Every structure is written in C-alpha cells, then in structure tokens.
Amino acid sequence: MRRGAAVRGAGWLWLAPALLAAALLFGTAVGETRIPLSTVVAVLASKTGLTAAVPDSVDASVIWHYRLSRATVAACGGASLALSGLVLQALLRNALAEPYLLGISAGASTGAVAVAVAGFGAGVISMSAGAFAGALVAFGLVAILARAARGTGVQTTGIIILAGIAGSQMFNATTALIIAQSASAEQARGIMFWLLGNLSGVRWPDIRLALPVALLGLGVALWHVRTLDAFTFGADSAAALGIDVRRARVVLIGTAALATAVVVSIAGAIGFVGLVVPHAMRFLVGVRHARLVPATALAGAVFLVLSDVVSRIVIPGQVLPIGVITALVGAPAFAVVMVRGRRR
C-alpha cells in the first residue's frame, strides 16, 4: 500500500535528536578559550546529574552557564529564524521572503538605537527590550500598511512585500536619523556590534523565552503543514482547497513575527538564516512541508550553533559578529546545495 508522499522518507527524523545533541556538544566544547574535552564532558555529566556534583569553578561555570546556554539559545534562535523564513516563503509565494522582508529586523534596529542613543527609557529599558518593541511595532505597521493598500490592484502577496519594503526603508531612515542626531563613534560601535548579531550576552534565563518560542513556532508550523502545502499554487488555490486564508495568514505570519522579534531581542539581527536554511532543505528533502518543517527547524538550529562556534574561533582572541558568519558560511553552502540539487 502506498502512503502519502508527504509522509514517505521521514525515517531520518529519528536522527534529529542525535544531530542536535552533537551540535550542542560541539558548541559547548569549542569556545574563545581552550578547555580540555574531558573537563567539558565531566562538567556536563555532573551538571546533568549523571555523576556526583563538582564544586563550582570558573571553568565549570563557563561550560555550563556560558557555552551550553549560548549553544542552546543559538539552536532555538536558529530554528525560529529558519521556520519564520520557511513560513513567510510559503505564504507569500516569494522565494526571497524572510524576516528582513517584513521590516521586522529594521524595526528591531530602530528600537535598539532609540534606547541606546536617543536615551529612550533612560537606561532602565535595555536595548533588547527596545528591539523587541521595535520588531512588533514594525510588524504591526506593515500589517496596517498592507491592509490599507488592499484593493488598489496590487496582488495581496505583492502588497505585503511592498509594505515590508516601505516599512524597512522608513525604519532604516529613522535609525540613521537618530544616529546622525546624537551618536558618537563609540555609541555607533555598540550598536553595530549588536545589529550584526551577538550571542555573547546569552545566559540560561534567555532560554525561558527562546525555547518556548521555538517550540511554539515548530508546533504551529507542524499543525499547519497541509495549509502551507496548499499555498503551492497561490492563495486563491489554497482557499479553493478549503484553507481559511486570512486566518492562516494571521496565525502563521503572526507567529513568525513573534519568533523573529524574540530572537532579535536576545541575539540581535542575525540575517540569512531564514533565507538559506529553508532553500537548502527544499533541495534535500523536497517541498512538502510535512518533511520540510522538521528538517528546517533542525537544520536552522544546527546551522546557528555551528556559525556561533566559527564566530568564536575564526580570529583568535576576538569574537566576530555571528551575522557575518551566517552570511559568509551560508552563501557558499547554499550555492553547493543548489548546484547538487540541480544535477540530481
């Protein structure tokens, strides 16, 4: 008996926890400084209760509180960003759709700059909170713009993209205005470092936001795999297949916006993940979302953990912004996968 194509070939998914665990272990073992692997394993074993507790020390704390928390949050962030890109690409029928397109990242930047430079919140509100607020404001604005522009003859998917571009430009201009008005070079440095993505401030408490949001994103996407498939031939076709298009858009794009805003507020604006991971996964597992959603979540998580490791070791004694790595690593990997996929 045949089974639906969407379900066939999902056996590899049993490998997912092992892959993820390997990536997390790698991310914990490699850091700014050298700690022997035996120490790393011993600390992890004791912290997880497998062996007797070891006394707190700088090394143990670095492994547990800096590296593992950072790798875990990176995994959650990578999964969230990749899934956001996947959902936006499916719903907007645009291969270039990703959080940047909706102006979410631009809004987050403006929020962060408003806090850091213009003194919004007078040192009480952190840049992360500013970024989160900015991301949500940007999404709301783009949604309102897209709504207002309805019925002007542009196709709905086009409207959202145009509204996103308009929103991005407006937020970028606002950011430039704030910086030009009041920033010194030193301030600009703090902001640049942050805008290119930075996981150095991540600690365990961040997992309280990052993990639920990643699980929410994964859950919502898995619940809607057939909805996402139904958009293959466009929104009208999806509606004809019984999809409540408006509800699907609100739930799915809303979840993507929330997930992106949370990631941006924790780790800054990390680009390229939402674009590169879903496309790479389409070549590897096909376009059906029953396979694509879990594959994208897993690959996004592994990709960001590895990018973070690379950002820590590529220049000794210095940590590069992770956004630089995601772009530098992502582009060639994307090209290789694309060429191989075509030859198949």
Residues in 280-339 at the binding interface with other proteins, rule: CB under 8 A: 282-283, 286-288, 312, 317-319
Provide CB contacts within 8 A for 268, sequence distance 6+: 112, 131, 194, 195, 196, 197, 198, 321, 322, 323
User: Which residues within the stretch 131-190 sit at the binding site for other proteins (CB under 8 A)?
Assistant: 151, 182-187, 189-190
Is there binding between residue 236 and other proteins (CB under 8 A)? yes
One of 201, 209, 310, 338 touching other proteins (CB under 8 A) = 201
Min dist CB 96 to other proteins, Å, is 12
Binding mask 246-275 toward other proteins (x if CB under 8 A, else -) reads: ------------------------------
230: part of which helix (H) or strand (E)? Answer: helix 225-230
- Told to check if 244 binds other proteins by CB under 8 A, we report yes
Q: Could you say whether residue 6 binds other proteins (CB under 8 A)?
A: yes
Q: Determine, following the binding rule CB under 8 A, whether residue 80 of this chain makes contact with other proteins.
A: no
* 167 vs 268 by CB, closer to other proteins: 268
Distance CA(14)–CA(23), nearest Å, equals: 15
* Cβ 166 to other proteins shortest distance, Å: 23
- DSSP labels, 61-125: HIIIIIIIHHHHHHHHHHHHHHHHHHHHHHHHT-TT-SGGGGTHHHHHHHHHHHHHTS-TTTTTS
Segment contacting other proteins by CB under 8 A, of 3-11, 22-30, 137-145, 162-170: 3-11
- Contact (Cβ atoms closer than 8 angstroms) between residue 171 and residue 110: yes
Interaction of residue 221 with other proteins, rule CB under 8 A: no
Nearer to other proteins, 74 or 170 (CB): 74
- Interface of this chain with other proteins, residues 95 to 134, rule: CB under 8 A: 95, 116-117, 119, 122-123, 126-128
Nearer to other proteins, 142 or 290 (CB): 290
**Which among 132, 127, 273, 135 has a CA at the least distance from the CA of 191?**
127
CB of 136 to other proteins, least distance (A): 19
User: From CA 344, how far away is CA 336, in angstroms rounded?
Assistant: 13
AA letter at 171:
F
Task: Return the residues of window 7-26 that contact other proteins according to CB under 8 A.
Answer: 7
Site for other proteins in 30-49 (CB under 8 A): 31-33, 35
Q: Which two tokens stand for residue 319?
A: 């940590």
Among 11, 49, 242, 332, the residue binding other proteins under the rule CB under 8 A is 242
Rounded to an integer, what distance in angstroms lies between the CA atom of residue 258 and that of residue 270? 15
- At 311, list the tokens: 């950002």
| Residues 255/217, Cβ–Cβ less than 8 Å | yes
